[in-house]
Structure 1
Amino acid sequence: MRFGSSLFTAIGDELDGLRRGLTDLATGMVRDRTRLAITGLRRSGKTVLTTCLAHHLLEPSGLPFLSVVAENRLDATRLVPLRDLPPFPLEEAVAGLARETPIWPQPTDRLSGLAIEMLYRTGHRLGRLIDPTRRHFIEIVDYPGEWLLDLPLLEHDFRTFSAHALALAERPIRQPAAAAWQELLKEVDPQAPGDPALEARLAEAYRTYLRACQEELGLSFIQPGRFVDRSKIADEELISFCPLPLPASPLPHDSIGARFERRFERYRDELVKPFYRDNFSRFDRQIVLVDLLTALNRGPDHFEDVQESLATVVRSFRYGSGSILTNWLTPKIDRLVFAATKADHIAPSQHAAMKQLLEIMIAPSSRHTRFAGAPHEVLAVAALRSTDVVRTELHGQVLSCLKGRLVETGQETVLFPGELPPDLPEPHDWTSGRFRFRDFAPRRLPRGRNGAASHIRLDQLLEAAVGDRLT
């Protein structure tokens, strides 16, 4: 039965995609465009990257390694609305970063989007004879990072969701936060008649546990994501359930277990599925952001949690290559870039190790995408530099240090940032206090021709993700 349900769901999703593609073709809405998925867990830098990508595309002199800019083929760019979505607050975010004392954009709490229209000249000799000037639209959707971990729920029913969530709560790092909810579960018989008061207590205890995992423990794997995000849900019943230890036998129709099962299915079908269908199923390129430094700072359990979260999320996307027509009708991601953020928080000499460590960390994810036929690249990037590199001498040795304004003190500081291992950390790395990477406040976002100095490899990131679409 589980196999049949998944099969019919997959067929239904394909038919939905075909119907949307045919509608676009019939109404003339298919454009030369790239739907770019900027995928990142909570606080991975997704909103900052979206802001800086859009800003530099609108002022492209700061992108010297984007081929269409380097070859002087880009004639004009402009911001255009992305249909069916509220506008991404680009002007507000850029204004905050351009202040005398810059501030990071507010964390995303709703769905929004933007598109950059690019007018450029083709670099192909034959293309110049046929159609010398072309237009391309780069479309980006922004969303709360908490929603990302909901996508795997599309492949679960209540029974499999409960089994996984209960096992997760038994992990040593999570168990203290889960203790109160687990104690309450001991009083519950999933086959007993529904009890609204008990059900409300169970749901609130589970939400409290998830909030503790996110806010106090700093973990990423939080399901369901909308249980902890900042958006409001009109129908409270959709978040009024929790995982239960279920018997093998069927649940009575009016039992607590059956009532929670129906709410889980409504959450999955009414919130998660439309979000995936209308947005994520339509992407054809992907950037996956990873805050590697924070994962190292927080220890081995957090590092493993981020790795598991990434692998789970990546498996929720459709990858593969196809013809132009099939990609219009049923889009699949045919190229992706894994990007380690905060490259400005370490010395440039450590960027190679950062890239190598990320390659090892995302091996389970990249293995899945390679089998599907989607090549990938790995980069160390910073959407906006927060530091300058300075060299100092200590005991006759020249060290690459960083100068920047620390978030925790607000003071300008020069410090040695530490070094990254080129391989997975050994047990003594975690216990020696080796990983103490600091957070820096943003530098002011510059305007005009000095934009290239304000980021690290943002242009290479764009070239890897969409450069071939602008030839």
Structure 2
Amino acid sequence: MGLLDKTTGLLRDMGQITGNVAGAMTRPLTAPFTDPVIRLGVTGLSRAGKTVFITSLVANLMDRGRMPQLRAAASGAIRTAYLQPQPDDTLPRFDYETYLAQLTASDPVWPDGTRQISELRLSLKVAPSGMMAGLQGLQTVHLDIVDYPGEWLLDLGLLGQTYAQWSAGALKRAQGRPLGDAYLSQVTAVYPAAALEEPTARALAAGYTAHLNAARAAGWSDCTPGRFLLPGDLAGSPVLTFAPLPDGDHPRGSLGREMARRFESYKKNVVQPFFRDHFARIDRQVVLVDVLGAIHAGPRAVDDLRTAMAEILTAFNPGGNGWLNRLLQGQRVDKILFAATKADHLHHTQHPQLTAITQALLREARDRADYAGAKTAAMSIAALRTTVEETVEHRDGPLNVVRGRLLDTGRQAAFHPGVLPDDPQQLLAPARAGDADWGPDRDYQVMRFAPAPMTLRPGEGPPHIRLDKAAEFLIGDRL
């Protein structure tokens, strides 16, 4: 290399260093206009605990003593965290203070579940790392948490279906589900090609809604349309007054034709605006899943959960669907966590089995959805630990149990839900086969525990299981 080349290279390197130093020195002046924002979507299926998850996550990010697996917390890079007004004034604020007070009271209670979309902004002051750290001030990273019902997420699958396709699937799913047979009997009593009579339409919608509510309460996951379960100010409107009917020739003015029109109106006026206005702006997502509840409900509920997870992955991977690409404007979530909640209902020796089952459900969902794109993960967590572990003597030898305060009676009880298999296929195979139950050798139970009274030491958030690991996956790389 000649002297000219060496001189040019040296000047170039010096210019880069000077530019980096200048950028580091001026960044604190421009930071208010360039603060990074992480939009974290939180949703869940069938009472998976969204409100508790968000409340505990925020509390543990503000007081980080229980967050060793979040590297930015363990290293001290997060210097402080505080709540700020949310950026979207048109959304309800997530009522963090009320929920935390309910969970940490002397007689704690579970907060009400999510019934609408809400938002909360948590800002974190983070010390930069790397060679230029000494020349930079603290950086502010905003975590915008968007809470919305999981039933709304499943509605995305409706956008790619006609009324006839949705009806065929809904009528098939109703077979054997709670109040499903009652609705199917109701359908046989009507003639879809007959002229529309509004009382008949309302009765069918009410019957189908009762079936969906009963199915969700029994642990089923795929219960769409989601607004039938959470109607809000749409209750009683024509956009929610439809129900599945058998396919056939439905002339103009008939009950069947009007049901199809209202189905299309639901997609256009309810589903699309939610995904266009809110969903498309999310860049990280956690989906909370009550895997234990599905196992307790039986093989068909587990297979239903597997199908629902595939639908969710499709929602996060527009792929070649032109209508979905246009709706989401090319945006994609780049990390998705499927978290099996209520890990505190199991002794820690069974947590690996719960995680393996969740991973297997996710893997099959990925295959069914032909999914590629975002980084996904599965783990078992408890956003708020409600139990302690014990080993008790049993007729067959020592038995690992958890002990907690029962929600219904308030008394303390030890609980062993049954032994989860080491091989997830021992559950997934009968689920795929549509078996009615797990058979005489397997018996899985679910206990409803109340939140346990807690005394928090300074600097510590509520007790949890792997909430710090979940936070590291979801936002650790951005801190």
Which TM-score bucket, shorter chain as reference?
A: 0.7 to 0.9
Letter in 2 for 1:165: A
CA gap 1:369/1:133 in 2 versus in 1, 3 angstroms: farther
Which range moves more in the overlay, 332-341 or 415-424?
A: 415-424
- CA contact 1:319–1:374 (8 Å) conserved in 2: no
Q: Which residue is 1:96 aligned to?
A: 102
Q: Which residue is 2:473 aligned to?
A: 464
Q: Which residue is 2:301 aligned to?
A: 302
CA gap 1:330/1:445 in 2 versus in 1, 3 angstroms: farther
Cα deviations by residue, 1:104-125 (Å, 9 ceiling, x for unpaired): 1111122211111111111222
- Are 1:109 and 2:109 an aligned pair? no
- CA contact 1:51–1:90 (8 Å) conserved in 2: yes
CA gap 1:319/1:398 in 2 versus in 1, 3 angstroms: farther
Correspondences of 1:279-318 after superposition (within 5 Å): 279-318=278-317
SS at match of 1:191: coil
- CA contact 1:418–1:437 (8 Å) conserved in 2: no
- Are 1:65 and 2:64 an aligned pair? no
- CA contact 2:221–2:305 (8 Å) conserved in 1: yes
- Are 1:256 and 2:283 an aligned pair? no
CA gap 1:318/1:129 in 2 versus in 1, 3 angstroms: farther
In 2, distance between residues paired with 1:344 and 1:75? 30
- Are 1:214 and 2:223 an aligned pair? no
Cα deviations by residue, 1:280-329 (Å, 9 ceiling, x for unpaired): 12111121212111111121122222222222222112379xxxxxxx98
In 1, distance between residues paired with 2:241 and 2:108? 40
In 1, distance between residues paired with 2:310 and 2:455? 36
Cα deviations by residue, 1:214-243 (Å, 9 ceiling, x for unpaired): 33x432221112112262316611111111
Correspondences of 1:352-391 after superposition (within 5 Å): 352-367=352-367, 371-391=371-391
In 1, distance between residues paired with 2:448 and 2:62? 28
CA gap 1:132/1:430 in 2 versus in 1, 3 angstroms: farther
> Which of 144, 158, 170 is equivalent to 2:163?
158
Q: Which residue is 1:238 aligned to?
A: 239
Cα deviations by residue, 1:334-388 (Å, 9 ceiling, x for unpaired): 1222211111111111111111111112223344788422222222111011111
Question: Which runs of no fewer than 5 residues in structure 1 stay unpaired?
Answer: 1-27, 321-327
Q: Which residue is 1:324 aligned to?
A: none
Alignment size in residue pairs: 429
CA gap 1:450/1:402 in 2 versus in 1, 3 angstroms: farther
Q: Which residue is 1:17 aligned to?
A: none
Q: Which residue is 2:197 aligned to?
A: 195
Cα deviations by residue, 1:154-202 (Å, 9 ceiling, x for unpaired): 2222222122212222x3x22x723343334334443333222322222
Question: Which runs of no fewer than 5 residues in structure 2 stay unpaired?
Answer: 1-31, 320-327, 431-436
In 2, distance between residues paired with 1:118 and 1:167? 49
Sequence identity of aligned pairs in percent? 34
Which range moves more in the overlay, 104-113 or 188-197?
A: 188-197
Cα deviations by residue, 1:402-432 (Å, 9 ceiling, x for unpaired): 2211223311123444321122335685433
Q: Which has the larger radius of gyration?
A: 2
SS at match of 2:233: coil
How far apart are residue 97 of structure 1 and its match?
Answer: 0.4
In 1, distance between residues paired with 2:268 and 2:202? 21
In 2, distance between residues paired with 1:65 and 1:449? 19
CA gap 1:432/1:451 in 2 versus in 1, 3 angstroms: farther
Runs of 4 or more above 6 Å deviation: none
Q: Which residue is 1:56 aligned to?
A: 60
Cα deviations by residue, 1:224-263 (Å, 9 ceiling, x for unpaired): 121122623166111111112222x5x4332222211221
Which range moves more in the overlay, 80-89 or 386-395?
A: 386-395
Q: How much is the aligned-residue C-alpha RMSD, in angstroms? A: 2.7
- CA contact 1:346–1:419 (8 Å) conserved in 2: no
In 2, distance between residues paired with 1:370 and 1:267? 27
SS at match of 1:57: helix
- Are 1:47 and 2:46 an aligned pair? no
- Are 1:139 and 2:140 an aligned pair? no
TM superposition score normalised by structure 1: 0.83
Q: Which residue is 2:334 aligned to?
A: 334
> Which of 155, 169, 172 is equivalent to 1:167?
172
CA gap 1:411/1:467 in 2 versus in 1, 3 angstroms: same
SS at match of 1:261: helix
Which range moves more in the overlay, 251-260 or 98-107?
A: 251-260
TM superposition score normalised by structure 2: 0.82
